[in-house]
């Protein structure tokens, strides 16, 4: 399989610009930025839709249900508060209420297989044990998904019963926030390892963009950005 | 990357024989056999350690902890009974007690990238959305991991509290067994799709082995084998 270089480069440009738009409209978790920037500085890599790890409550048939079988009640990339969990006991249950925590999921495309294999090795060494090449395509390149095993998925309520009683909220919140934090630590580990290795061939256009816009967020680690986000939320909440 | 054909074929032979040994000593989930056989009949594919989906209770720091941080309390590939869950409330908690259900995870190796891509496409169409090429190696071939999103992971107890009270066991057991069954349905779906497509080039040695040993289990679907296993267990339990 040969990747169509022109198409791939156009896609890189478009994903790069979309990333900054997504950040502006709040679609992008800011703590992903350091990692995404480090990856994009490499010529043969562009990132795609990714997640820094999050807490999601849904009313769904099963935790993996999508669309018609599932309604998202809330989604957060920062620690959850007991009040937010307690809200889940005040609403009617249509299917089941689930509380899910997922670790980071990074999607990226490489221009060739050799780069994909190198990234896969670094990911594996950084604890991303469920990573792989999910597709190969002449236009889209070699697409990788990097994931950890950091995950929790608990049924809180069925239509007839509470599986986890609301009284258990404090213990549950502690658990959930710890798992979220564990995910952010893995994000930081991957960032550190990639920063040591990359770029093999710097992408001059990306480097120029970063300089021109005075971007410096990738000098911080994901966990530093996460902690800033979390404390901003706390401050807003206390005001 | 070029796969060393001789080494790869030796590995195929050794994995094939180990599979039957594992079955004999109870290391292999019998409901995996139909799928594993259908895959191995293709010349350019051999299977590796896989799981048909299971329910696991552990005392561990987190559901993804391994070895030093985790003790498996029980592991079942067939439905769980309320008594088995209630046992989990009678033991001391060292870290946390987790109840996990995982869907099928299939590991296989292909002799070339083209075969890997074809299998990946079939897996994706069969609902194995988290599948990918996890490594490429001249001796081990192109290694694939095929997985679904079928998963549940619930904290039952911490050292200080029960997050899920023992009274909720009936509802929890129903949920857990339904998720296990959902996994077995996905196993069957993949088996059906692969059976339609494979073999592209039959592996004469494997075909001969199957005929010589009168093997017919792959004429049944995984869910038929699973239901036989589950009802055998029920019968043994009632005697």
pLDDT of the residue at B65: 84
C-alpha triplet A14, A3, A121: angle, nearest 5°: 90
- Nearest Cα of chain A lies from the Cα of B91 at a distance, in angstroms, of 20
- The segments of chain A whose pLDDT lies below 50 read 239
Residue B131 at interface with chain A, using a CB cutoff of 8 Å: yes
Give the one of B113, B134, B179 whose C-beta lies nearest to A131's C-beta.
Answer: B134
Residue B25 at interface with chain A, using a CB cutoff of 8 Å: no
pLDDT of the residue at B235: 64
pLDDT of the residue at B2: 86
Give per-residue pLDDT as tens, B223-237. Answer: 999 999 888 766 655
ipTM of this predicted structure: 0.88
Residues of A whose CB is below 8 A from B130: 130, 145, 147
Give per-residue pLDDT as tens, A170-194. Answer: 999 999 999 999 999 999 999 999 9
Across B196-222, average pLDDT:
95
How many Cβ pairs closer than 8 A exist between chain A and B?
A: 99
Give the one of B149, B160, B175 whose C-beta lies nearest to A155's C-beta.
Answer: B175
CB contact under 8 A, A147 and B130: yes
Is B112 within 8 Å of B97 (Cβ atoms)?
no
Across B144-167, average pLDDT:
95
Q: How far apart are CA A84 and CA B105, in angstroms?
A: 34
CB contact under 8 A, B153 and A158: no
Q: How far apart are CA A231 and CA A238, in angstroms?
A: 10
Instruction: Tell me the residue ranges of DSSP E strands in chain B.
Output: 45-47, 54-60, 70-76, 97-102, 105-110, 132-137, 141-147, 151-157
DSSP one-letter string for B63-81:
TT--GGGEEEEEEESS---
Is the domain spanning B5-238 CATH 1.10.10.10? The answer is no
Residue A136 at interface with chain B, using a CB cutoff of 8 Å: yes
Residue B112 at interface with chain A, using a CB cutoff of 8 Å: no
CB contact under 8 A, B64 and A161: no
Residues of B whose CB is below 8 A from A65: none
Residue B132 at interface with chain A, using a CB cutoff of 8 Å: yes
CB contact under 8 A, A133 and B130: no
Q: How far apart are CA B101 and CA B54, in angstroms?
A: 6
CB contact under 8 A, B64 and A135: no
pLDDT of the residue at B125: 93
Query: Could you tell me the two tokens for A4?
Result: 């169509």
Residue B113 at interface with chain A, using a CB cutoff of 8 Å: yes
Q: How far apart are CA A183 and CA A147, in angstroms?
A: 10
Residue B122 at interface with chain A, using a CB cutoff of 8 Å: no
pLDDT of the residue at A2: 86
Q: How many helices (H) and strands (E) does chain B have?
A: 7, 8
- The dihedral built from the CA positions of residue A32, A35, A38 and A44, taken in this order, carries a sign that is negative
pLDDT of the residue at B68: 80
pLDDT of the residue at A64: 87
Residue in chain B nearest A127 by alpha carbon: B64
Beta bridge partners of A109: A46, A143
- Nearest Cα of chain B lies from the Cα of A147 at a distance, in angstroms, of 10
CB contact under 8 A, A175 and B165: no
Q: Where are the domains of chain B?
A: 5-238
- Nearest Cα of chain A lies from the Cα of B76 at a distance, in angstroms, of 19
Q: How far apart are CA B237 and CA B239, in angstroms?
A: 6
Give per-residue pLDDT as tens, B105-151. Answer: 999 999 999 999 999 999 999 999 989 999 999 999 999 999 998 99
Q: How far apart are CA A139 and CA B154, in angstroms?
A: 41
pLDDT band at B66 (very low <50, low <70, confident <90, very high): confident
CB contact under 8 A, B63 and A152: yes
Give the one of B62, B133, B171 whose C-beta lies nearest to A133's C-beta.
Answer: B133
- Nearest Cα of chain B lies from the Cα of A1 at a distance, in angstroms, of 9
Residue B138 at interface with chain A, using a CB cutoff of 8 Å: no
Which H helix or E strand runs over A153? Answer: strand A151-157
- Nearest Cα of chain B lies from the Cα of A213 at a distance, in angstroms, of 36
CB atoms within 10 A of CB B131: 27
pLDDT of the residue at B239: 43
């Amino acid at each position: 399989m040969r990747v169509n270089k022109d198409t791939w480069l156009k896609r890189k440009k478009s994903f790069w610009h979309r990333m900054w738009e997504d950040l502006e409209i709040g679609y992008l978790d800011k703590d992903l930025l350091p990692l995404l920037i480090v990856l994009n500085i490499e010529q043969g890599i562009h990132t795609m839709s990714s997640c820094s790890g999050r807490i999601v409550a849904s009313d769904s048939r099963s935790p993996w249900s999508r669309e018609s079988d599932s309604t998202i009640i809330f989604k957060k990339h920062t620690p959850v508060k007991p009040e937010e969990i307690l809200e889940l006991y005040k609403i009617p249950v249509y299917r089941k209420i689930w509380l899910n925590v997922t670790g980071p999921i990074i999607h990226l495309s490489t221009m060739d297989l050799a780069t994909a294999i190198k990234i896969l090795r670094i990911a594996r060494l950084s604890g991303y044990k469920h990573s792989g090449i999910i597709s190969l395509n002449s236009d889209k390149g070699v697409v990788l998904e990097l994931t950890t095993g950091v995950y929790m998925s608990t049924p809180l309520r069925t239509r007839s019963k509470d599986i986890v009683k609301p009284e258990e909220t404090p213990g549950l919140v502690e658990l959930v926030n710890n798992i979220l934090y564990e995910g952010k630590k893995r994000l930081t580990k991957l960032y550190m390892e990639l920063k040591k290795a990359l770029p093999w061939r710097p992408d001059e256009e990306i480097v120029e963009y970063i300089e021109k816009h005075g971007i410096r967020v990738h000098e911080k680690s994901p966990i530093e950005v996460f902690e800033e986000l979390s404390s901003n939320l706390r401050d807003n909440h206390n005001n």
